[in-house]
Amino acid sequence: MMDDEQPKTLYVGNLSRDVTEALIVQLFGQIGPCKSCKMIVDTAGNDPYCFVEFFEHRHAASSLAAMNGRKIMGKEVKVNWATSPSSQKKDTSNHFHVFVGDLSPEITTDDIRAAFAPFGRISDARVVKDMATGKSKGYGFVSFFNKWDAENAIQQMGGQWLGGRQIRTNWATRKPPAPKSTYETTNTKHLSFDEVVNQSSPSNCTVYCGGVSTGLTEQLMRQTFSPFGQIMEVRVFPDKGYSFVRFSSHESAAHAIVSVNGTSVEGHLVKCYWGKETTDMISPIQQVQQNKVGFAAQPYGQWGQWYGNAQQISQYVPNGWQVPTYGVYGQAWNQQGFKEKKRNGIGMTFAFNGGVVEPAQGVNGTMLANQSSMGTAGYHTH
């Protein structure tokens, strides 16, 4: 093979934030002349990485062998061949994305890639980090080219120890569903993480989960939703079969909606939507009552069918909760008055809107959130 056809560009990952392009060129240039170096600082809070291009393939190969695993400014760097820029633009929306939760703080993107690599070809992997602190949020995503590889990884890796914790695995967007009724087939839209996260205010951190007609407990909801982020509060209504889960961040709530919606919880097919808290839907009579909020059943937007009957409505009056409607997604959850100790002094109605959140094929993140957030600029690693 002619040298022009051989790879000359290396991916260098797990870099300290203090590492500069000049330092990389200085270090790698000791092995062979570098043509260019491009540093990528991930806005999502992930570790920086860069691409080093050499004039000759032999120098790139020697650098790969010599520098992989070496420490630069206290961090052990990962060096690999970079793919071509054209492959980076490849659409991965039809790949199969696995959610990985309960990650230890020290687990990196390279760690989860290595842990899941035995199950098949991985198109992408990442640990989600807090943009402000740069620390792991405790979950990540691994994308496979093949559905069966992803399914096998979910089955085999769930409950396995990675670092100091047992991890949880699930479809990041839901796996292709089984055949459904005519109504579901024609009226259900598969949504990606991007679509879900942008359909409610960034300050909204609350998820509605309905459909658990028996066995609904706070413990069950915490167990179901804890892989997606820190839970601030859970409200359950066992006799009604639904609950409200408030997360510490909007992104965690979005991942929960995408991942849990349409799945089975205790044998029940559940639906998850954005929740909202609003005071503008309280009737004048309800506003006069300082300590109680009336309940109003809301019709399904398209069909005009009532969620509850007249006898049931009276049972909701003390709760001040309003059932969801099918429609556009809701606005922000007003945090004031959410806590139990504040509820008596404020008239509130809790409502939900939003259509059926059916994630995109491939597996509630799209490629999850968006492809760019899981991708890299310039090159990807193998």
- Give the pLDDT of residue 329: 39
Query: Topology of 182-359 in CATH?
Result: Alpha-Beta Plaits (3.30.70)
Using the Cα atoms of residue 267, residue 273, residue 279 and residue 280 in order, give the sign of their dihedral.
Answer: negative
- Give the pLDDT of residue 88: 43
Specify whether the CB–CB gap between 362 and 142 falls below 8 A: no
CA gap 329, 111 in Å, rounded: 36
- Give the pLDDT of residue 288: 35
**Could you tell me the CATH superfamily of domain 3-88?**
RRM (RNA recognition motif) domain (3.30.70.330)
Q: What is the mean pLDDT of each run of 10 residues along the chain (382 residues)?
A: 68 90 94 91 75 91 90 90 53 78 90 90 85 81 90 92 90 52 40 78 91 87 86 91 91 86 80 69 35 35 35 37 40 40 40 39 40 39 40
- Give the pLDDT of residue 290: 38
Name the residue among 353, 321, 355 with its Cα closest to residue 338: 321
Whole-model pTM? 0.31
Q: Which residues partner with 247 through β-bridges? A: 231
- Give the pLDDT of residue 335: 39
Sole residue written with tokens 């199950």? 119
Name the residue among 223, 275, 237 with its Cα closest to residue 254: 275
Name the residue among 293, 356, 355, 349 with its Cα closest to residue 322: 349
Specify whether the CB–CB gap between 154 and 120 falls below 8 A: no
- Give the pLDDT of residue 20: 92
**Could you tell me the CATH superfamily of domain 96-171?**
RRM (RNA recognition motif) domain (3.30.70.330)
The CATH 3.30.70.330 portion of the chain extends over: 3-88, 96-171, 182-359
- Give the pLDDT of residue 37: 93
- Give the pLDDT of residue 177: 42
Specify whether the CB–CB gap between 270 and 257 falls below 8 A: no
- Give the pLDDT of residue 167: 93
CA gap 225, 84 in Å, rounded: 38
Specify whether the CB–CB gap between 205 and 248 falls below 8 A: yes
DSSP state letter for 299: B
